[in-house]
Amino acid sequence: MNFFLAALGVLGVASSGPLIAATLGATTVSALAIAFWRNAIGAAVMATPTLVREPRQFGRITGREFRWSLLAAVALALHFACFITSLQLTSVAAATALVCLQSGWIAVFQLFRGTKHRWPVLAGLGIAFGGVVAITGFDMGSSSEALLGDLLAVAGGALAGLYTLAGGKARQSMTTGTYTTLCYGMCAALVALLAVFSGQPLTGFDAGGWLGIIAITVCAQLVGHTAFNHLLATMSPLLVSMIILLEIPGAALLAAVFLHETLPAGTYAGLALILVGLAVVVLGQRSRTARRQRLDPAGTRDGEPPSERLAELGTD
């Protein structure tokens, strides 16, 4: 059963990039429309069981919880704007690999906050960002449009890291349902404002466009991440984190089969470097956390919750 759920989760998250690229290329759906409806539907789905089980939770949200949730929502909105736009400019494989640098960016942000990482984490960061240089270098030689898409995907990964860290702060005292409903809802509202200012429509699409939006939301958001959240209760977080990294080759394979996307050999080498580097980062972070938990079974150090030190599930 776990193997089936893991395969379903990988297929779900890996399908995100190809489905978005196909929807943008074959319909009149805008990038911000995909981001808006994905979050709006996600908020509605998460709100329903929360309102049934704990209807008073939303009235107990503190100012601190709201501020951290708002920061997470802003980061998530900008993440989607960057990532989905990048899929219009560069390859699906490159955009997916670059945006999956989320766990690497979390480690970088922690460095700036004074966290001292073990050498495997630093080595993994070097390998992963070496892959970024390889991919952007090849795209620089092909077109300025592809290079811009790469840079937007890198920015999307950094914003996803910020979203994870801010969400970790908010979720110290909030239930998952309350936090995700609030965060996704505010994210949808912010994306709607971006759409108004940029002139991108949120409605008026043909049947193919709405089908694409529904497929993206169901496959990536509801199936992919729900499967991984379930696996966290039955498998070690380390193993789940490593399985999630299969999104990188999975998206490249799906794009090659269904979108007939071909890439230079150097770009595939860059994808491999990012995959290996992130695996080393995840392993280094997990071993560090495990060692601290042996010393402190409560899992805290200087008021820092475990969610601040772990790379959580991705957003795509």
Residues facing 304 on adjacent strands: 301
Task: Confirm whether 314 is domain-assigned.
Answer: no
Give the mean pLDDT of 268-272: 92
What is the distance between the alpha carbons of residues 189 and 191, in angstroms, rounded to a whole number?
5
Give the mean pLDDT of 262-266: 85
Q: Binning pLDDT at 50, 70 and 90, where does residue 312 land?
A: very low
Percent of the chain exceeding pLDDT 90 equals 54
C-alpha R_g of the chain: 19
The number of beta carbons lying within 10 Å of the beta carbon of residue 197 is 9
Calculate ∠ Cα 21-77-17, nearest 5°.
20
Burial class (CB within 10 angstroms; exposed 0-12, middle 13-18, buried 19+) of 29: buried
Closest by Cα among 183, 151, 181, 147 to 164: 183
pLDDT beyond 50 at 131 = yes
Helices and strands (H, E) in the chain, number of each type: 14, 0
What pLDDT does 258 receive? 93
Q: Binning pLDDT at 50, 70 and 90, where does residue 103 land?
A: confident
What is the pLDDT of the chain when averaged over all its residues?
Answer: 86
Task: Confirm whether 313 is domain-assigned.
Answer: no
CB 32 within 8 A of CB 198: yes
What pLDDT does 177 receive? 85
Single pTM value for the model:
0.85
Reduced to 3 states (helix: H, G, I; strand: E, B; else coil), residue 301 is strand
Summarize pLDDT for 168-203 with one digit per residue, the tens.
899 888 888 889 899 999 999 999 999 999 999 999
CB 124 within 8 A of CB 281: yes
What pLDDT does 291 receive? 56
Burial 125-151 (b: 16+ CB within 10 A, else e): bebbbbbbebbbebbeeeeeebbebbb
What pLDDT does 302 receive? 38
pLDDT beyond 70 at 251 = yes
Task: Confirm whether 100 is domain-assigned.
Answer: yes
Q: Binning pLDDT at 50, 70 and 90, where does residue 132 land?
A: very high
What pLDDT does 299 receive? 43
Give the mean pLDDT of 233-259: 85
What pLDDT does 289 receive? 56
Reduced to 3 states (helix: H, G, I; strand: E, B; else coil), residue 304 is strand
The number of beta carbons lying within 10 Å of the beta carbon of residue 298 is 7
What pLDDT does 308 receive? 38
Could you write out the DSSP letters of every residue in 155-168? HHHHHHHHHHHHHH
> How far is the CA of 191 from the CAs of 30, 166, 216, in angstroms?
12, 18, 17
Give the mean pLDDT of 24-43: 94
Task: Confirm whether 316 is domain-assigned.
Answer: no
Residues facing 301 on adjacent strands: 304
Determine the structural domain holding residue 248 and report its residue range.
2-308
Residue with tokens 């960057």: 82
Task: Confirm whether 67 is domain-assigned.
Answer: yes
Q: Identify residue 129 by its one-letter amino acid code.
A: F
Provide CB contacts within 8 A for 297, sequence distance 6+.
Answer: none
What is the distance between the alpha carbons of residues 10 and 248, in angstroms, rounded to a whole number?
9
pLDDT beyond 60 at 311 = no
Name the least confident of 2-11, 89-98, 129-138, 220-229.
Answer: 220-229
Mean pLDDT: which of 56-70, 101-115, 148-162 is highest? 148-162
Q: Identify residue 179 by its one-letter amino acid code.
A: Y
Total domains in the chain come to 1
